[in-house]
Amino acid sequence: MSERITRQAFLRRAAAGGAVISVPGLLAACGGGSGSGAASSTATSTVKAVLPKTITFSNWPLYIDVGKNKTHPSLVQFEKHYHVNVNYIEDINDNDSFFGKIEGPLSQGQSVGRDLIVMTDSSGLPQRMIQLGWLEKLDKAAIPNIKNLIPAQQHPNWDPNRDYSLPWQSGMTGIGYDPKKVGGDINSVDDLLTNPKLKGKVTLLTEMADTMGLVMLSNGDDPSKVTDKTWNAAKAKIEKAVKSGQIRQFTGNDYAPLLAKGDVWACFAWSGDMVQLQADHPGLKWVLPKTGAMIWTDNMLIPKGGNVYGASVLMNWYYDPKIAAEVEDYVNYICPVNGAGAILKKTDPKVANNPLIFPPKSYLDNAHIFDGKALNNPKYKQDFQHLIGA
């Protein structure tokens, strides 16, 4: 990877003064044959801890606190505190599409003009980017607040030492349903896939990790260790349900309007969506399937060429429980920062006591993540795409 950025390109870009390109990042890349990891850690220790004038932060829409005048208070406070400008862009709306957009520059050794991006682990892309060497290592020295990371998130199997990533928010995937239409409570994935009363009123997700994961759990298999046998068993189950017309559609989060309108009675749903839907439809419920739920995490990552120190300081800011509480109060997904819940109990108990935002241990113990290697296995991916019709 380091060979891709030639001296010529570096000089050209430095002269043009173009996108925010970090000297440490590029030096690391030009550094020679040694892996990017070693190079960048050397680089950050030799470069003074100086903040850049602007930090560019790409995120998903509505994933940060919004105050009056459409500003983002947590960012404004950061800017005031550090005398730095944050260019906040909400241009990530789908992992694969965003990756498709940045892989071009990254594969050619060009910077993507961003210091911090946020991508989901269940897409397999953070894992892929680590493999491809397209991520910078975090400057842990600049992130003392990393101690506030909740235990459940400290050692994910794809980044065991949190060298490249820090969670921004998490979400759980479970069953969303309308008890009035379903005629009671349900909590079984098998119910969704085989109950004739629900025929044509069920949707599953186009997210491979979520759909295959939940079905594997219903088979009693472990989704974090996918084998051909467990894969095929889950696939067969879903195929049967598709062929029989049990499953109406595979959706992204466009299950939400269908559930709200009663066109769909039960579906695989994301916890954060349900919090919003319940505001207008209090009857709708979200439940952890009895065989287990999936949990996904949107992670902050530093793409190659981003300013490592600046990005790390920004990450550290959001691991301050006070700031995390501000963000959580608005975003309403699952907070990865210890202490934010305690603060919110005093300022916004409704949010603090919502199990979909601050899930109890019983929820988290039954939440699983998908096998990272399987996420990038071409055969499995092809299989799944055929399953959902493409």
Contact set with other proteins (CB under 8 A): 18-19, 56, 58, 60-63, 66, 70-72, 87, 89-94, 96-97, 99-101, 103-105, 107-108, 110, 113-114, 132, 200, 242, 247-250, 252-254, 256-258, 260-263, 272-273, 275-281, 378, 381-382, 385, 387-390
Give the residue among 191, 197, 200, 130 at the shortest CA–CA distance from 159. Answer: 130
**Total residue length of the chain:** 390
Token duo for residue 11: 């000089």
| 3 state DSSP class of 187 | coil
Q: Which is nearer to other proteins, 93 or 227 (CB)?
A: 93
Q: How far is the CB of 328 from other proteins (least distance, A)?
A: 14
Dihedral of CA 385/386/388/390: which sign? positive
Q: Which is nearer to other proteins, 142 or 214 (CB)?
A: 214
Q: Which is nearer to other proteins, 143 or 334 (CB)?
A: 334
Strands (E), the chain: 54-58, 85-89, 117-120, 165-177, 202-205, 247-251, 266-270, 285-287, 293-301, 367-368
Amino acid letter for position 130? I
Q: How far is the CB of 384 from other proteins (least distance, A)?
A: 8
Token duo for residue 250: 């595979």
Q: Which is nearer to other proteins, 59 or 165 (CB)?
A: 59
Q: How remote is the C-alpha of 172 from its chain's centroid?
A: 11
Q: How remote is the C-alpha of 144 from its chain's centroid?
A: 22
Q: How far is the CB of 199 from other proteins (least distance, A)?
A: 8
348 CB burial (10 A radius; 0-12, 13-18, 19+) = middle
Give the Cα separation of 201 and 311 in Å (integer): 45
Q: Which is nearer to other proteins, 162 or 304 (CB)?
A: 304
Q: How far is the CB of 276 from other proteins (least distance, A)?
A: 4
Q: How far is the CB of 88 from other proteins (least distance, A)?
A: 9
Q: Which is nearer to other proteins, 227 or 385 (CB)?
A: 385
Q: How far is the CB of 202 from other proteins (least distance, A)?
A: 11
